[in-house]
């Protein structure tokens, strides 16, 4: 171990060697500055440009996406509005059709009622005529039996006709 310290071991300082290391370092740095730094700087600037362009493209894409989203929202609102309008028109049409059918049914019911009233009136008149004839025949038969001795058939018929005419006037 003494040998290492005496002959310039690991911890000894050699000035000439240090100067050569310093000169080598300066030359190395000058060569690096001259030949290596421009391509490295150029690569860094290229990467910076690429990153900047990517960010700008991302911003443009984001703006386009927002525009598309707004267009989609607008289209959705328009579709909802149109659907609401179609629904309203369908409900209006259904209400109109229902009202038309109700009115038609009322008209038909009124026609049926009027026809029934006319039929009833006709039947009533027919029944009255039949009843009058029956009453006249019964009256004639009754009167004939009662007055058979005193009156003849022509006079009986005249009496009955007068009586029936009096009844129809009342």
Q: Quote the pLDDT of residue 63.
A: 93
Residue 39 has pLDDT above 60, yes or no: yes
Mean pLDDT along residues 73-96: 93
Q: Quote the pLDDT of residue 170.
A: 63
| 8 φ/ψ sector (left φ>0, alpha ψ -120 to 50, else beta) | left
pLDDT, tens digit, for every residue of 155-165?
A: 777 877 887 88
Q: How far apart are the first and last CA of the chain?
A: 167
pLDDT higher for 135 or 106? Answer: 106
Contact between 139 and 160 (Cβ < 8 Å): yes
The gap from C-alpha 114 to its chain's centroid, in whole angstroms, comes to 44
Residue 111 has pLDDT above 90, yes or no: yes
Q: Quote the pLDDT of residue 119.
A: 92
Residue tagged 């009322």 (tokens): 106
Q: What does pTM read for this prediction?
A: 0.41
In the chain, where the domains are located: 43-169
pLDDT, tens digit, for every residue of 95-109?
A: 999 999 999 999 999
**Cβ atoms within 10 Å, residue 156:** 19
pLDDT higher for 79 or 166? Answer: 79
pLDDT, tens digit, for every residue of 16-29?
A: 888 999 999 999 99
DSSP category for residue 151? -
**Cβ atoms within 10 Å, residue 157:** 14
pLDDT higher for 65 or 155? Answer: 65
Mean pLDDT along residues 107-128: 91
């Amino acid at each position: 171990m003494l040998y290492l310290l005496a002959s310039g071991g690991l911890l000894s300082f050699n000035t000439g060697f240090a100067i050569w290391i310093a000169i080598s370092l300066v030359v190395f740095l000058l060569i690096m500055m001259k030949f290596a730094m421009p391509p490295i700087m150029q690569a860094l600037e290229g990467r910076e440009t690429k990153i900047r362009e990517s960010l700008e493209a991302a911003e443009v894409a984001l703006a386009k996406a927002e525009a598309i989203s707004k267009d989609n929202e607008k289209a959705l609102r328009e579709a909802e509005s149109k659907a609401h309008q179609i629904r309203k028109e369908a409900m209006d049409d259904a209400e109109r059709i229902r009202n038309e059918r109700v009115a038609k049914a009322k008209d038909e019911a009124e026609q049926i009622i009027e026809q029934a009233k006319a039929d009833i009136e006709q039947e009533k008149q027919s029944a009255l005529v039949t009843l009058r004839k029956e009453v006249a025949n019964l009256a004639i038969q009754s009167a004939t039996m009662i007055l058979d001795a005193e009156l003849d058939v022509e006079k009986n018929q005249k009496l009955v006709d007068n009586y029936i005419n009096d009844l129809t006037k009342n």
